[in-house]
Structure 1
Amino acid sequence: MLDESNNWGRWGAADERGALNLLTPETVLAAAGSIREGRVLGLSLPIRGATSSPAPTTVPHLRGRPLPQHFMSVDGGDYAAGTRAIGAGLKMADDALVVTPHGTTTHMDALCHMWSGEELYNGHPAGRVRSYGAGRCGIDKAGPVVARGVFFDVPRIRGVERLEAADRIEPADLEACALDVRPGDAAVVRTGWPLAWRDGPDAYWAGQPGLSADAGRWLAERDVCLVASDNAAIGGLNARQLADEGLADDLHMILLWRHGIHLAEMLWLEELAESGRTDFLFVAAPLRIEGGTASPITPLAVL
């Protein structure tokens, strides 16, 4: 499968950051030129979690994935052991949060998230991915992302509120957005699929629209550093929440594995769509989870 275009070896045999290497100081400075209003939009879904409430079911997520769990204690509970030492009359609340990023919240995939055979991106040994963390290509190797964002609002181009579950975004859709895509850009693709949650979980779980394999290749050819979308897998999903494409056409294989292009999934892009902006400064910083396959993020669009 590596007969196809790929970035293995492009930034050296030891590289674990992939296309994020395109974010040179010069590229970042140029991206800052996209700021024209000074307005900042958050592009993440909320994290709602509890041990005994329906809160998590009010946020889009993939069926069957462990939902976020949020525990709080006030004034001396399990997570506030030091409360009594902080002084008379003072109160304190502490939090504990358990999140499995994939499929449950806005997150960024690491290059160790998916692979084929015995090698991760760039030929690193897949045997280094263990239950205690990935020895190569973990999310901690990514670092912060500060790039020019280019916004592909595909529902607007097609004249619909949101795409349907069976829809796949083709290169012609991306070309119709008429954007000047530059090396090091972060491609942000809207499907509108989170709006399906308003019709209930079953509507959201009926499948998902997403990029076709050829659209993924189209973006990779333009040297983007990251692909982000408001769906759960960048590519489309069927009603079993699986990809229908074979291994050669799987979007994670094309982007993550072959080209080292990080993926950000489950964004909230409705306010960005309302802004009418197609370029902006995109900012996202994954947590430095050593050996992690992903991290929750709060992407920002600085308009």
Structure 2
Amino acid sequence: MTQRWKKRPEGSTWGDFGPDDENGRLNLLTPERVRRAVAEVKEGRTFCLSLPLDYPGGNLLNDRRHPPRTFSTIRDGKANYNYRLDQHDGALTDVISDDAALIHLQYSTQWDGLSHVGSLFDADGDGVPEVVYYNGWRGGEDIVGPSGHAHGDGCSEYEGAHADRLGIEKMAQRCVQGRGVMVNLNAHFGEERKLVGYDELMAVMEADKVEVEEGDMLCLHTGFARMVLRMNRTPDPKKLHGACPVLNGRDKRLQNWITDTGIAVLIADNYAVEAYPSEPGEGKHAALPLHEHCLFKLGVHLGELWYLSDLADYLRANGRSRFLLTAPPLRLPGAVGSPATPVATV
């Protein structure tokens, strides 16, 4: 076990969970807190919190990410779909279908891994910033860029990139189960674009009597994913980039509140959780300040583009805000993000 940094970012949790930690605040999802979450189950009713993974449709939301493409595998030189095994002697009754997918891991409902966003930061204390990620893991050493060339499948990715540390499989191994807490921004602000800072968030939580405790998994319902569903894979670019309430990631008091509450993860049904582009920054600053604060400094994983509307409606109608949330990512070694099919149980 080695400490890879001499200086850590102000307000960060680097080292708090051990010098080689790769889980961040997932460490707060202790057995006791899982038992506390299970106690929120009153009816045994479940909600799927994932969009269909081919939503929003197209690549207007992020031009580097494309919808998944599924295709048949090959068997004996033929498509292995509705494939009859009796092709040789006629004695077999089996019919086989088998497929594969090319999927951008952060296209739809997703988790951002801690290797997704790092920062230029002088962790060595020598006056020269280097590429580092949560807990001082290094770009080029622990999170390794591609070694190959772009391949010609129409997507222009480079092969060979991998996160040897902070990969999304570390999150999967933690299972990601705990108490979810819903804040229904949509119920107060509708689908109009509104920057939500600390003051607005506190006002909504006070009005709805929502309380957040250490280790909770905070979910923000903005209505964005429900709007995306209505657009049926043909999204309106103006609505994609200019609708629904969204966190003001530049708000320092909001950042401090996320730090002080000890939430384990932060989840929203919109793109990026925070406003992008963000409010203007000063001096050297992050384009995505809440990503930097959560992923890089605190080790708080971000969930994006979750489908929260049905659950949020149910909770509001029943005067509740808490539920059991189970939300592991794919156990895909070396990936920096992953699709998710979260389940809420109430």
TM over 0.5: yes
TM-score (norm 2): 0.75
Q: How does 1:272-291 map to 2 (within 5 A)?
A: 272-275=311-314, 276=316, 277-291=320-334
2:245 counterpart of 1:202:
no
Question: Which residue of the partner structure matches residue 97 of structure 1?
Answer: 101
The aligned length equals 287
Q: How does 1:39-118 map to 2 (within 5 A)?
A: 39-48=45-54, 58=57, 62-64=61-63, 65-72=65-72, 77-79=78-80, 84=85, 88-102=92-106, 104-117=107-120, 118=131
**Looking at CA atoms only, which structure, 1 or 2, has the larger radius of gyration?**
2
Question: Which residue of the partner structure matches residue 31 of structure 2?
Answer: 25
Distance 1:115 1:272, change over 3 A: same
The superposition leaves residues 151-175 of structure 1 with CA deviations (integer Å, 9 ceiling, x where unpaired) of 01012133x2x242xx222222332
Question: Which residue of the partner structure matches residue 201 of structure 2?
Answer: 174
Provide the alpha-carbon RMSD of the alignment.
2.7
- Tell which deviates more after alignment, 202-211 or 137-146: 202-211
Distance 1:174 1:90, change over 3 A: same
Question: Which residue of the partner structure matches residue 338 of structure 2?
Answer: 295
The superposition leaves residues 137-158 of structure 1 with CA deviations (integer Å, 9 ceiling, x where unpaired) of 1101112100100001012133
In 2, distance between residues paired with 1:42 and 1:245?
Answer: 36
Which one-letter code corresponds to 2:265 in the other structure?
L
Identical counterparts, % of pairs: 31
Partner secondary structure for residue 177 of structure 2: strand
Alpha-carbon distance, 1:294 to partner: 0.5
Which one-letter code corresponds to 1:142 in the other structure?
M
The superposition leaves residues 62-113 of structure 1 with CA deviations (integer Å, 9 ceiling, x where unpaired) of 14222211114698744569963897121111121111122x2101011000
8 Å CA contact 1:229–1:266 kept in 2: the answer is yes
Distance 1:85 1:136, change over 3 A: farther
Partner secondary structure for residue 267 of structure 2: strand
Alpha-carbon distance, 1:60 to partner: 8.8
In 1, distance between residues paired with 2:165 and 2:289?
Answer: 22
Alpha-carbon distance, 1:245 to partner: 4.8
In 1, distance between residues paired with 2:262 and 2:58?
Answer: 33
Unpaired segments ≥5 residues, structure 2? 1-6, 121-130, 147-159
In 2, distance between residues paired with 1:2 and 1:163?
Answer: 39
Partner secondary structure for residue 70 of structure 1: strand
The superposition leaves residues 232-259 of structure 1 with CA deviations (integer Å, 9 ceiling, x where unpaired) of 101112xxxx444543571110111000
Which of 171, 181, 201 is 1:142 aligned to?
171
8 Å CA contact 1:75–1:92 kept in 2: the answer is no
2:135 counterpart of 1:129:
no
Distance 1:114 1:139, change over 3 A: same
In 2, distance between residues paired with 1:123 and 1:63?
Answer: 28
Distance 1:296 1:89, change over 3 A: same
8 Å CA contact 2:47–2:311 kept in 1: the answer is yes
In 1, distance between residues paired with 2:291 and 2:170?
Answer: 18
8 Å CA contact 2:25–2:263 kept in 1: the answer is yes
Which one-letter code corresponds to 1:294 in the other structure?
G
Partner secondary structure for residue 44 of structure 2: coil
TM-score (norm 1): 0.85
Question: Which residue of the partner structure matches residue 215 of structure 2?
Answer: 184
8 Å CA contact 1:110–1:139 kept in 2: the answer is yes
Q: How does 1:236-275 map to 2 (within 5 A)?
A: 236-237=275-276, 242-246=277-281, 247=285, 250-275=289-314
Which one-letter code corresponds to 2:266 in the other structure?
V
8 Å CA contact 1:79–1:96 kept in 2: the answer is no
Question: Which residue of the partner structure matches residue 34 of structure 1?
Answer: 40
2:151 counterpart of 1:151:
no
Question: Which residue of the partner structure matches residue 51 of structure 1?
Answer: none
8 Å CA contact 1:151–1:187 kept in 2: the answer is yes
In 2, distance between residues paired with 1:179 and 1:226?
Answer: 17
